[in-house]
Structure 1
Amino acid sequence: MDVLHLTSRKRETYEIRIEASLLWECALGIAAVTNKKLIDTLEKPKESWDRLKKSLSEPLIEDLKFVGKNNTWKSLLLLLHQKEFQGLSEFVMFLDELDDEKLRFICIPYIGVKFQKLRTLASKGEESSRNRLKTQTEANPFFPDYIDFICTTNVHDLRNHLKSVMTGWYKEVIIPQKEKLSQILGRDKQSKEKMSGNLKSEALVEWATGGITYLPEPSVHTVLLVPQMIYRPWNVEGDIEGVKVFYYPVANESIYPDDKDMPSNFLVQKHKALGDEARLRMVKFLKGSERTLQEITNELNMGKSTVHHHLKILRSARLVETEDGKYRLKENAVQTLSNELMQYLTDY
């Protein structure tokens, strides 16, 4: 059916904000080291993680166990979104000054405008509102238990835990590499700000994240881009009121600014992902049709956990995506891979 357009109003899109901070790197590091299911897909090799864990103090190890059990890394990220903190001391002071109810409210995940009243009532201790939030988030692997924990735990103990784990990780992990990390994050922020003058918002998000297509949503007016090292090659997504957040992996050129032949980390990840027989078989099986994890497992005659691991690698390389429990091949990403390689080879 033909459509007659009688309006001159353009489709609205979102604005872009870019923030870089060692505090983001700190909170994401705490999230990464306690994520047992994902840690073996991160760029940093297992041996590096093992050495890091052995170097940590006993009090910090205990704090991290608590994070792993209750997912309080989510609380840290939500709290960091409340303002642009200039440093750790300002963040700790902010935590000390928050009243108990406000602290609970911030730490409860934002799941949409229409659920804000439930979020407020749950922070006040209303059990029925808490249960409704848990029901609304049951598709998320950890939100229901996390919401229950935030709404029922002793706020004084929660506050002390958040201060302790953030301070411990910052002092033991961030400070030894503070100057190097600051330079890398700063360079990447500057490169994205420079490119923002040449790209529209949606194109900038896709470029910065290495392939995420994020279309405007009615309740989202801003996209916040936060460069991070620790979760490479993954993008980490988040939602706060009116804002979509992408903690995106810094580019290779931000890490090695003097190496003009350094390839894009996304180019490297794609070739690494395809450099395996099992993953190539998956790519071929997914071409042209969506498949469930069980269908892929049956086709390849492999263990479900092994298949899931390979799919994580393909997803992190932006070659495969998932929706409603089904996996699909991003055929455009595969088709453009040869062009990306030739561009790298001929770029002087």
Structure 2
Amino acid sequence: MNTISITGRKRESYRVEFEYSLLWECALGIAAITNTPLLDTLEREKEFERFADEFSAKLKTELAYVEKNNTWKSLLQLLHVFEGDDFAEFTNFIQQLSVEELAYYCFPFVGDHLQEIRRQASQGNEDAVCLLKEVTKANHFFPGYIEFIHQVDADELKRHLRSVMTLWFDHVIQPQSEKITGMLERDLAEKKAMKEELAAEEFVAWVTNGTEYVPEPSVYRVLLIPQMTYRPWTIVSDLEGTKVFYYPIANTSIHPDDRYLPDFLLLQKYKALGDEVRLRMLKLLSEKDCTLKEITEQLDVGKSTAHHHLKLLRAASIVGIQSSKYTLKGNSIASLAKELELYFNQ
């Protein structure tokens, strides 16, 4: 198609902002340890296993409740509404919410055009709840989570959220709070320095280990939140007017004095490539995007085997998922040599 442009406008980008606090680390830790399908891909898997052996019966009960109902999502949603970083103030904030406010804040944001439906759902409107479930059915847990928020007793949910945050904070976060804060602050300082050198989209891709995010019409802000708990994963979420990336902090922020320590994601990438089945999968995906069924049939591997290998490739940020199909992240492969060069020269 031949096109002549007569517009004088440049494509607008988004504003990049940062937030960090121990509250985010606490909520993401609760999310990570209850995400059992991904637990074996986390850098802190062994540490979490050790923590779990020491958990009180009460904390184990609350974590089981999180895993069953995905209430980690409620914690993250509420943290985006709460202004501050004081732990006691956050738990008091939860307690003081009305029934409608609690439901509204816990329901996921699914678009500007559905904000009124979200509001009606928080008021108990069954039709609005059903609509929210319908428009989010592509997400594997959203419909069930929405139904849970609709049905749960507000006082019980408040009690649970305050309890699991308090127990996790006291057992996992508080004993190493100074160490964690130091890591987050070092990483934030590094990222802010680099922010001045790159355009917004290039910068977000660099921070999030290759996530390419182009501006959306309704998104004017990208919020970057550093975390060490979910490494090597970047967690993506939506808020009104905002795209959120909870990104994994760099190795240099964790071990600033060890110049020989390679970045964890760099290790993950090369480990992921060191397997014949995974290389065969990548060659197939270099030719076309595929469903899990197509991969198993084309490469003659079992479904559980294929799923395991694809999980490792996703953890290494080499493979992604779009519209229920696995897709090769070509830029992630192309940047490998440069990442290795940067490691040698750092």
Measured after TM superposition, the shift of residue 202 of structure 1 is 0.7
SS of 1:111 mapped into structure 2: coil
1:270 aligns with 2:269: yes
CA distance in 1, matches of 2:331, 2:207: 17
| 2:211 alignment counterpart | 212
What is the percent sequence identity of the aligned residues?
A: 50
Tell me the distance in 2 between the aligned counterparts of 1:116 and 1:130.
12
What residue is the counterpart of 1:34 in the other structure?
Answer: 34
In the alignment, the residues of structure 2 paired with residue 69 and residue 187 of structure 1 have an alpha-carbon distance, to the nearest angstrom, of: 35
Tell me, in whole angstroms, the C-alpha distance in 2 between the residues paired with 1:266 and 1:84. 32
Contact 2:222 2:244 in 1 (8 A): yes
Contact 1:110 1:241 in 2 (8 A): yes
Instruction: Give how far 1:139 is off.
Output: 1.1
Q: Secondary structure of 2:222's match? A: strand
Please show how residues 198-347 of structure 1 align to structure 2 within 5 Å. 198-345=197-344, 347=345
Q: CA deviation at 1:312?
A: 1.5
**Higher mean C-alpha displacement, 160-169 vs 280-289:** 280-289
| Pair 1:142 & 2:141 matched | yes
Cα distance in structure 2, aligned partners of 1:135 and 1:78: 20
1:6 maps onto 2:6 in alignment = yes
Q: Unmatched 5+ residue regions in structure 1?
A: none
Amino acid in structure 2 at the alignment position of 1:94? F
Report deviation, 1:256: 1.0
Alpha-carbon distance in 2 for matches of 1:170, 1:328: 37
Correspondence 1:190 to 2:189: yes
| CA RMSD, 1 decimal | 1.4
Would you say 1:91 and 2:90 are equivalent positions?
yes
Structure 1 distance, partners of 2:250, 2:83, is 23
Counterpart of 1:105 in structure 2 is 104
Q: Which residue in 2 is equivalent to 1:79?
A: 78
AA aligned to 1:201 is A
Helix, strand or coil at the partner of 1:237 = strand
Calculate the TM-score normalised by the size of structure 1: 0.96
Shift of residue 84, structure 1, vs aligned partner: 3.4
Give the aligned residue type for 2:330.
Answer: E
- Offset of 1:2 from its aligned partner? 3.7
Preserved CA contact (<8 Å) 2:32 2:229 = yes
Q: What is the CA-CA distance between 1:303 and the residue it aligns to?
A: 2.3
Q: Distance in 1 between matches of 2:329 and 2:85?
A: 40
One-letter identity of the residue aligned with 1:31: A
In 2, distance between residues paired with 1:264 and 1:123?
43
- Matched position secondary structure for 1:227: strand
Give the CA deviation at 1:301: 2.8
2:288, 2:135 → 1: CA distance?
Answer: 30
- Is the 1:227–1:250 contact (alpha carbons within 8 Å) kept by the matching residues of 2? yes
Give deviations 1:48-73, integer Å, cap 9, x for gaps.
33221111111111111111111100
Q: In the comparison of the two structures, how many residue pairs are matched?
A: 346
Q: Aligned to 1:38, what secondary structure does the other structure show?
A: helix
Is the CA contact 1:288–1:329 (under 8 Å) kept in the aligned structure 2?
A: no
Letter in 1 for 2:196: G
2-structure distance, mates of 1:70, 1:10? 44
Which residue type is aligned with residue 202 of structure 2?
Answer: A
Q: Tell me, what secondary structure is at the counterpart of 1:291?
A: coil
In the alignment, what sits opposite 2:43?
43
SS of equivalent residue, structure 2 residue 37: coil
Q: Which amino acid aligns with 2:244?
A: V
More deviation, 250-259/334-343: 334-343
Q: Deviations over 1:250-292 (max 9, x none)?
A: 0111111112233233322211211222212211222222221
- Matched residues in 2 for 1:188 and 1:343: separation? 17
Task: Specify every segment of 5 or more residues in structure 2 that has no aligned partner in the other structure, as ranges.
Answer: none
2-structure distance, mates of 1:339, 1:132: 47
| Deviation at residue 99 of structure 1 after TM alignment | 1.3
- Mean Cα displacement is larger for which, 3-12 or 142-151? 3-12
Q: C-alpha offsets along residues 29-57 of structure 1, whole Å, 9 cap, x if unaligned?
A: 10111111111111123x43322111111
